[in-house]
Structure 1
Amino acid sequence: MAIDGRTTESGYLLDNRQREAGRRFEALAEIFDGWTFDHLDRIGLTEGWCCWEVGAGGPGVPAGLARRVGPAGRVLATDLDTSWLSEPLPAQVEVVRHDVVRDAPPAGPFDLVHARLVLVHLADRAEVLRRLVGALRPGGWLVIEDADPALQPLACPDQRGPAEELANRIRAAFRTLLAQRGVDLGYGRTLPRVLREAGLVDVQAEGYFPVTSPVGRELEAATVRQIRGQLIEQCLVEEHEIDTHLANLQGDGLDVTTAPLITAWGRRPV
């Protein structure tokens, strides 16, 4: 379940300050940015829009938004940890440290509010969603993308041998760590309903399920390295098993996937 590891009770499961976080952000961008911008373009993202990127993580989505809104637009990129947003970004991108759970929403209103792999990890996700909707201008769009690992819980759906079986056991252990921190492992499928309940109209949703790719293996390896200590400390996986799994990921014979990403979008009524 190689997704962004935000947690609510004991800090990030996947600490953004760790060395592997940069590679994880790059891999997430390579896997998901094309899918994300297909949907943002579909709703009409264009020059002059004012956009709020919630939990930006890395620079990929803010930079892509800036290219589309042009010099007349504005992109606000917020996160609890903005360290991976320090590289030069277009002038219309403003980076702000912001806690979407505890801090008041930034000054808007916004034509677009987008959050990818954020709400699923928050205990107060319903209240956060209400704030995101409230930050929209009338007619503005909210686009929420979140994983649903319970919908497809396996790292290797084609479990044909020991390497795949080991990958699936490690993925199950990762889900255990996330669940301990209040992550809703079935949140993605609820997005159409929760957007409608929040008062949005024209709600639609689609799912993305990349089955295998080299960058998918890189994301899996970066994720496992980051949670290695916790897997061992809680006796969920043996250290030698992690080493074997990381070695298996170095070749091209292990078909490892991410959790399905559910993208849902809706418009604030005029």
Structure 2
Amino acid sequence: MGSEEYLLDNRAAEAGGRFDALSVIFDPVTFRHVDALGIAPGWRCWEVGAGGPSVPDGLAARVGSTGQVVATDIEIGWLADRVGAGVEVARHDVVRDAPPGDGFDLVHARLVLLHVPEREKALRRMAAALRPGGWLLVEDYDISLQTMICPDAHGPDQLLANKVKDGFRSLLSERGVDAEFGRRLPRLLRQVGLLDVSADAYFPLAMPAVGALERANIVQVRDGLVGRGFVTDTEVDAYLALIGAGRLDLATGPLVSAAGRSG
């Protein structure tokens, strides 16, 4: 996936705020799963589409000096200067490029594959990069399971928020995002030959970091929202003011975390 196809380009000024918010919201979920898989010193890990530094750094702390963490992305300019010394950063296209190593004990991707048009091909490449007994952990939204930014839509402010979010979802759909990808992950992991597949879903609601994430996203795609006629500039300004005032109980789509083991 080239950056021109990605609605939330990592080169934009808002990327740092988005990565910080995603870390606060989802790192506890990610590392609950990583730790349950038994990560230990000496493991070799590949973080696919790393974006920010928090997950690669957390993996590096767990595998220690005898392990390896490779963090890859299409665009690495933002990441390369921020990860710790225990992380190797490489520019990489998960669909087109060979895996960046000789086999991994853990391959992880969070909020990556739903944006990749050839997502099932990428999933096969990631599974093929596992060593025997290695684990693939994929975490992605299922946007269609919960479409509203304000599930408790009890007044005009919440209805405005949901209107803006509807426009945002339309922009994502135009870029080929799979709004139902999360629910398919267990089946897809089995189809690529993985064993002991399991999954769960996490649904954050009324967390301040969700507001920070939403603000970063909407500021970044504002021109697209207004230009396509989904909302007006006045409505965007009103929505951003509501977020800043902390007057909305905001949610994300459920994050499905699915893991499977190589035989």
TM-score if structure 2 supplies the norm length?
0.97
AA aligned to 1:236 is F
CA distance in 2, matches of 1:82, 1:8: 13
Q: What RMSD over aligned residues (CA atoms) do the two structures have, in Å?
A: 1.2
State whether structure 2 residue 50 is matched by structure 1 residue 86. no
Amino acid at match of 1:135: A
In structure 1, runs of 5+ residues without a counterpart are: 1-6
Alignment of 1:228-247 (within 5 A): 228-247=222-241
* Structure 1 range deviating more: 104-113 or 83-92: 83-92
Which aligned runs of 4 or more in structure 1 are off by greater than 6 angstroms?
A: none
Moved more, 209-218 or 10-19: 10-19
Aligned to 1:250, what secondary structure does the other structure show?
helix
Q: Does residue 155 of structure 2 align to residue 161 of structure 1?
A: yes
Q: How far apart in 1 are the matches of 2:177 and 2:9?
A: 16
Matches within 5 A, 1:163-178: 163-178=157-172
Q: Given the alignment, which residue of 21, 26, 50 partners 1:27? A: 21
Q: Determine if the alignment matches structure 1 residue 130 to structure 2 residue 141.
A: no
Residues 157-209 of structure 1: per-residue CA shift (max 9 Å, x gap): 00011110011111111110011111110000010110011100100000000
Q: 1:89-238 residue pairs with structure 2 within 5 A?
A: 89-238=83-232
Q: Distance in 2 between matches of 1:249 and 1:10?
A: 28
Amino acid at match of 2:6: Y
**2-structure distance, mates of 1:224, 1:99:** 26
User: For 1:227, what is the secondary structure of its paired residue?
Assistant: helix
Matched residue pairs, number? 263
Conservation of the 8 A alpha-carbon contact between 2:57 and 2:86: no
Query: Quick check: 1:8–1:121 contact (8 Å CA) kept in 2?
Result: no
Distance between the aligned counterparts of 2:180 and 2:135, measured in 1? 23
**Tell me, what secondary structure is at the counterpart of 2:107?**
strand
Q: TM-score, normalised by structure 1?
A: 0.95
Q: Distance in 2 between matches of 1:92 and 1:213?
A: 31
Task: Indicate conservation of the 8 Å contact 2:95/2:125, yes or no.
Answer: no
Residues 29-48 of structure 1: matches in 2 within 5 Å?
A: 29-48=23-42
* Deviation larger for 96-105 or 9-18: 9-18
Q: Which is helix-richer, 1 or 2?
A: 2
1:5-50 Cα deviation digits (max 9, x unpaired)? xx66942211211111100000001100011000000010111000
Q: Find the counterpart in structure 2 of residue 67 from structure 1.
A: 61
Percent identical among aligned pairs is: 53
Inter-partner Cα distance in structure 2 for 1:244 and 1:132:
42
For the 8 Å contact 1:146–1:261, the answer to whether it is kept is yes
Match of 1:254 among 242, 248, 252: 248
2:6/2:175 contact within 8 Å kept? no
Q: Given the superposition, is the C-alpha separation of residues 143 and 101 from structure 1 closer, same or farther in structure 2, using an over 3 Å criterion?
A: same
Could you say what secondary structure the match of 1:33 adopts? Answer: helix
Alpha carbons 1:8, 1:123 under 8 Å: kept: no
Preserved CA contact (<8 Å) 1:10 1:181: no
**Distance (Å, rounded) in 2 between the aligned partners of 1:74 and 1:211:** 35
Residue identity matched to 1:188 = G
Distance 1:23 1:83 in 2: 15
Q: Aligned equivalents of 2:128 and 2:46: distance in 1?
A: 12
> CA contact under 8 A between 2:2 and 2:74: conserved in structure 1?
no
Contact kept? 2:102, 2:129, Cα under 8 Å:
yes
